[in-house]
Amino acid sequence: MIIKDIQTIKQSIGQTIVLDNYCSKTTDCIVTPIGARACGGPSDYIIYSKLSIYANKIQRLSILSIKLETQYNKDNPSNSLCTIASPPSSSCVKNLCKRASIVSWITYPFGRS
């Protein structure tokens, strides 16, 4: 059931960001990791406004997604290639926080750091 919880949390994060993602400058935008890959590092990154009335909720859900997915990965070991995402850059575009660059993925054999 934990996988369903992870999916629900990530969906909730996305829906919450849409509610209030206003920015006046790029420094208002925060890049935060969500989830966890089996070999380490986040499964993705989210971008949201630190000015949002939901900023604390988004941060709490982000941390919860990391904890749950880390636990899921421990309970369900996988043998696969390991891809590590580097954080994207953010930008304030038309008063909304957006991804300014795509996520870069680096692939390692499973278990390498």
pLDDT digits (tens, 9 = 90+) for 41-63: 898 999 999 999 999 999 999 99
Q: Are 107 and 78 in contact (CB under 8 A)?
A: no
Domain boundaries, the chain: 2-108
The amino acid at residue 52 is: S
Residue 67: CA atoms inside 13 Å, Cβ hemisphere, count? 7
Residue 102: pLDDT band (50, 70, 90) is low
pTM for this prediction: 0.83
Tell me, what DSSP letter sits at residue 22?
A: B
The rounded distance, in Å, linking the Cα atoms of 65 and 36 is: 8
